Every structure is written in structure tokens, then in C-alpha cells.
Structure 1
Amino acid sequence: MLRRQIGRKFESLRKSAGLTMEQAAERLDRARATLHRIENGAEHVRFRQADVQQMLDLYGASTDDRELLLALTAATRENKNWWHDYVGSGLPRWFQLYIGLEAAASNIRQYEAELVPGLLQTRAYAEEVFRTPGGSIDAKDSSERQRAIQLRVERQALLTRFSAPQLSVIINEAVLLRRVGSATIMAEQLHQILKAAELPNVTIQVVEFSAGLHAGAMAGAFSILDFPKDSNGKEVEPPVAYLEAATGAIYLDKPHEIAAYDTIWADMTSRALTEPRSKNLIQQVAEEYSRA
């Protein structure tokens, strides 16, 4: 969050100075890719005070903007988020940004077509997921796999913390029926979902196969994150849509992109089972696994 705010401020100052990113990079004697990472809030950018002052001089920043950005960039050198312990071992750099955004979000909406969302997974279910080739973690590296699983478990504290975000989840019926590991693991996992659904800030809905074609079938799995508002009712951070693949992720925050995913979400909520009916279906499938 902090780095994204810094990035937006630097981008605004650059544009106010009438400079393209290429022109600014040349005059700062820095790579264009470095400026791109700064303006996009990349987690691993280091803000040395001398470099920040050079950018502020080039952009003709006001006294207020100079004080603000010098303070904000200094904070990035002092603060360490809890998930940094996982960097370099089990946590891809492109995923760091998502964890930071997730931790700061006030509202998280997720659609999953194949798997239980990470915030709801049991440890046993997660172990089966990370043991399968094709993900961002090397399925053959036991130590990285265990660190990734531990990270996933620790992230779940988000749901019960003070000022926890609202989590709204829509899952495809296939998520319930596709066995991940044993029947025992699946029964435990579905009961975990039902337990989470008891939290006042968690809602879970299921899209049955009988719902037919829906917008999520076209879009695939995604998350939409909304952020708190300040005292003036303005969001401190623009909404973000997140799409993950095996080797990277896409972060979308342009208004038309968010509007498109809002439309997809609205279509899916209208086609999904109500919360009570979704819970009944999950309970029914869990009992079938228990008997298996």
C-alpha cells in the first residue's frame, strides 16, 4: 500500500513536470524499468535518500511534496512486513504485492473455478495443492513447499483480526466435487469452509452446474480488492483485480478494468445459490465424503 501510494505520487509529479518516463529515466541516469517499478509500487525497490531527492529536484516538487515523499520513502526502509521472512524461499516476488494488498483491503471478492480459495484451505488440502506440478512453487522442493503452506496458513489470520475485511467467495460446484487428496481431507476441508462461513465477515456462495454458462466461466478465477476510505469518504487505494497464473500474475486497476470485473461479479452473484442453500449443498457433499 505504502509503495503504491509513493508510486502514484511520483508518477503524478513526473507528468506535472511534462516528462515521459523515457525522458525522466535519461535525465536521472536510471533505467526506464527502474522508474516503471517505482511508479507501480514494486515491493523490492530500494529508496535511497539521495535518489529520492534527485527525482524530487527533477520534477520540481513543492516543499510539501518533498517532505511527504522523503518521509514515505524513509518508512519503506524501516518497516518490514511479516511475510518478508518467506521471500526467497517459497514466495514468488510477484505474489508479495498481492499479500500486501490483501492485508490492507477492506473488502475481498473471489471467484474460484477449480480449487478452494487459499484463505479457506486446510493445511492438508494445501499440502496436496502444493505437491501438484504446475504451480508457482516447485512441487519437488519439500522445504519451499512447507514454507508456502505455512504462509498460506498464516494469511488466514486475516479473517479473524481486528477490523477484518469482508470476504465474499463464489466457488464453482466443481470445487466441491473435485477430490483433492483423500475423502477424509475433502470432508475436513468442506467443514472448514462451513466454519469460516459462520464468521460475520465471510459469505460463501456456490454456482451449480445447472446454472449454465456464466460470466465467471469466461473470465476464470479472479479476486477483486477494495480498500478503506479516508475521513472524506475517498478510497485510500484504487480497487484492484488480481489474476494469477503458474508463472506470474496480472494486477488491473484502471477504472474500465474494475468496471468489467464488477459486471462479471454481479452476473455470478445473480446465478449463484443463496448463502443458506450454498451451505446446505456444502454440508451435503461433506457428509458424502465422510461416508466414503
Structure 2
Amino acid sequence: MLRRQIGRKFEALRKAAGITMEDAAERLDRARATLYRIENGAETVRFRQADVEQMLNLYGASAEEAELLLAMTAATRENKNWWHDYIGSGLPRWFNLYVGLEASAATIRRYQNELVPGLLQTRAYAEQVFSMPGGAVNIAEPNDVQRAIQLRMERQAILTRFSPLQLSVILNESVLRRQVGSPEIMSEQLNQIIKAAELPNVTVKILPFSAGLHAGAMTGAFSILEFPRGKDGEVVEPTVVYIETATGAIYLDKPHEAGTHSDIWKDMEGRTLNESKSRSMMQTIAEEYGNA
């Protein structure tokens, strides 16, 4: 989030100065691609103080703006998030942004049509997922697969941390019915979801087959992440829609993109079972697996 905020501030300063990205790149003697990465909050950018000062001077930043951006960019050199140790092994670089956004989010709404969300998976269920082609994409070594699974387990701490995020999950009934691994694994997994749903900040609802056609049928799985607001209630970080693919991910943060997915969510939520009936369905199916 810090890098994304830095990027937006630099972009706003550049545009306010009436300077195109091409002109800025030429006058700063930097590649246009580098400026693009800065303004998009790329993790790979390293902010040297001299480079930051040069940009601030070119864009005509005020003393207050300069002081703030110098402090923010300095923080990127000092801070290392816990998940950075997983980059290049258990954590593909394209997923790094999502983990950072997830850790910073105030609320996440997650729709899953095929699999249990990572934040609710048991280790045994996760091991089955990562054993499938595409489940361990960009992970070559067996030890790295185990590191990726461990990362998934550690991410779940955001549900029980001090001031935890609000997680709302809609699961297609197929998530419950599709057996992943053994019946014992599925029974354990469904019971874990039921237990997680007892947390005051977690809601899980089931979209039953009987709901018929719904808006999510055309989209597949997605997450909507919303972030804490500033002291005056202003939006500090725009809502982000996250969609994962077999080889990467899509991040959508334009208002109409977030709005469209919110409308899809509302349509599905209106067709779900309530929390009590959802829990009953999960308990019934968990018992079926337990007796298999």
C-alpha cells in the first residue's frame, strides 16, 4: 500500500506540473518503464534519496509534499514485510502485491466457485491443491511447495490478529461437493470453515445449486478488497478487485470495475442461504464425508 500511495502522489505531482511521462523520463534521464513502475507502486523499485529529490524538483513539489514523499520513500528502504522471505520460492512475485494488499485491507469479500479460499484452507487441503498442475505454478522445487503452503497457513493469522479484517465469503455449493483428496480431508476442511465462521469478523454463506443462474456464473472467483479510510474519512487506497489466473493475476482498481463486481456480489448474496442454513448445509456434508 505504501508504494501504491507513493506512486499516486508522484503521478499527481507530474500531471499538476503539466509534464508527460515521456518528458519526465527524458529530463530525469530515466527509462519510461521505470517511471511507470514507480507510479504503479511496483515492488521492484528502489528509491534512492537523490533520485527522489530530483523528481520532486522537476515536478515543483512544495516543501510539505517533498518532506512527506522523502519520508515515505525512506520507509520503503527500511521496512521488510514478513512475507518477503518467501519471494522467489514459495511466493511468486506477481502474488507479492496481493499479500501486501490483503494484510492492509479492512474488508475482503471473496467469491469461490471451485475451491475453499486460501484464508480458510487446512494444511491437508492446501497440499492437495498444490499437488495439481497449476496449483504450484512458478514453483519448481518440492521444498518451495512446502514453503508456499506454510505461507498460506501464516496468512490466516490476519483473521485473528488485533483489529482483524472483516472477511465475507460466498462459496458455491460445488466447493463443498467437489472432493479434494480423501473424505477425511474434506470433513476436516468443512469443519474448519464452520469454526472460522464462528469468528465475529468472518461470514460464510453458501450459494446453493437451487439458486439457479447467478451473476457470478460469468465471472469465476474474485476478491473485492477495501481499505481503511483516513482520519477525515477520505479514501486513501481505492477498492481493488483481485482475479487470479493460471500464470498471474489481474488487479482492477477503477471505480466502474469495483462497482461492477460489487453489483455481481450483491446479486449472488441475495441468492445465498443465510448464515444458519449455510452452517447446517456444511455440517450435513461434513458428516457425509465423515461417514464415507
Relative to the length of structure 2, the TM-score reads 0.98
What do residues 165-185 of structure 1 show as CA deviations (whole Å, max 9, x unaligned)? 000000111100111111100
In 1: Cα distance, 2:138 partner to 2:181 partner:
18
Matched with 1:255 is 255
Shift of 1:36: 1.3
The answer to whether the 8 A contact 2:206-2:272 is kept is yes
In 1: Cα distance, 2:180 partner to 2:20 partner:
50
Matched with 1:98 is 98
Q: Percent identity, aligned pairs only?
A: 71
Q: Mark the runs of 5 or more structure 1 residues left unpaired by the alignment.
A: none
Alignment of 1:6-85 (within 5 A): 6-85=6-85
In 1: Cα distance, 2:106 partner to 2:141 partner:
35
Which amino acid counterpart does residue 256 of structure 1 have in structure 2?
A: H
Shift of 1:236: 2.3
Matched with 1:216 is 216
In 1: Cα distance, 2:185 partner to 2:140 partner:
21
What do residues 175-228 of structure 1 show as CA deviations (whole Å, max 9, x unaligned)? 001111111000000000000000000000111111111111111110001111
The answer to whether the 8 A contact 1:133-1:139 is kept is no
What do residues 49-74 of structure 1 show as CA deviations (whole Å, max 9, x unaligned)? 11111111111111111111111000
What do residues 127-170 of structure 1 show as CA deviations (whole Å, max 9, x unaligned)? 01011111353576311110000000000000000100000000
In 1: Cα distance, 2:23 partner to 2:176 partner:
53
Shift of 1:47: 0.5
Single out whichever of 24-33 and 257-266 deviates more from structure 2. 24-33
The answer to whether the 8 A contact 2:92-2:138 is kept is no
What do residues 33-57 of structure 1 show as CA deviations (whole Å, max 9, x unaligned)? 2111111111121101111111111
In 1: Cα distance, 2:22 partner to 2:120 partner:
44
Matched with 2:278 is 278
In 1: Cα distance, 2:102 partner to 2:131 partner:
24
Where 1:271 maps in the other structure, the secondary structure is coil
In 2: Cα distance, 1:29 partner to 1:248 partner:
31
Q: Could you list the structure 1 runs, at least 4 aligned residues long, displaced by more than 6 angstroms after superposition.
A: none
Matched with 1:202 is 202
The number of residue pairs the alignment matches comes to 292
Does residue 89 (structure 1) correspond to residue 77 (structure 2)? The answer is no
Single out whichever of 139-148 and 55-64 deviates more from structure 2. 139-148
In 2: Cα distance, 1:104 partner to 1:158 partner:
9
In 2: Cα distance, 1:138 partner to 1:165 partner:
29
The answer to whether the 8 A contact 1:131-1:139 is kept is no
Where 2:241 maps in the other structure, the secondary structure is strand
Relative to the length of structure 1, the TM-score reads 0.98
In 2: Cα distance, 1:140 partner to 1:38 partner:
30
Residues 1:98 and 1:139: Cα distance change in structure 2 (over 3 Å): closer
The answer to whether the 8 A contact 2:137-2:247 is kept is no
Shift of 1:235: 2.7
In 1: Cα distance, 2:169 partner to 2:246 partner:
21
In 2: Cα distance, 1:139 partner to 1:151 partner:
13
Matched with 2:287 is 287
Which amino acid counterpart does residue 211 of structure 1 have in structure 2?
A: A
The answer to whether the 8 A contact 1:109-1:168 is kept is yes
Where 1:251 maps in the other structure, the secondary structure is strand
Q: Mark the runs of 5 or more structure 2 residues left unpaired by the alignment.
A: none
Which amino acid counterpart does residue 167 of structure 1 have in structure 2?
A: L
Where 1:127 maps in the other structure, the secondary structure is helix
Matched with 2:163 is 163
CA RMSD between the two structures? 1.1
In 2: Cα distance, 1:41 partner to 1:72 partner:
12
Where 2:282 maps in the other structure, the secondary structure is helix
In 1: Cα distance, 2:238 partner to 2:126 partner:
31
